[in-house]
Structure 1
Amino acid sequence: MRKRSVMIAGHPTSVTLEEPFWEALKELAAAEGIAVNLLIERVDATRTGNLSSALRVHVLAAFRKTAAPDPGPIA
């Protein structure tokens, strides 16, 4: 894990994430055409717990959404 300094909502803070989660955050931000700090700021605005944990959950949810199979027509 690596601690990274980020600027969110106009103030510095740090997050500690494993490299794969950091790379995934960068991919998600790039896909939206935004900076990683802005993505982190968005997650920060909606979180209820620890920021690093919220970022991991955000990454998991985003990748689950893209990996979810099409349920097909609803009967």
Structure 2
Amino acid sequence: MKPDIHPEYRQVVFHDTSCDAYFVVGSTLKTDQTIEYQGKTYPYYNLDVSSQSHPYYTGEQRTTKNQGRVAKFKNKFKGTFG
């Protein structure tokens, strides 16, 4: 491999602001912000969504309302689909 062409790989603190969760993950992300986390200073990056807050991973997916589009469809084709 050629020297001095690869980005620096280091531990970075990611902060999911929607559920106030912190993660320390190895990354090549470039950021000027730092944070003191568990007695060490790390580079810091804000996230809007992570596995801690995303509905797919938490199992809290949205459900449609009974009076919504699905209910209207079922009422319209009541005899067709059983």
Pairwise same-fold verdict (TM > 0.5): no
Taking structure 1 as the reference length, what is the TM-score of the superposition? 0.31
Q: Larger Rg: 1 or 2?
A: 2
Taking structure 2 as the reference length, what is the TM-score of the superposition? 0.29
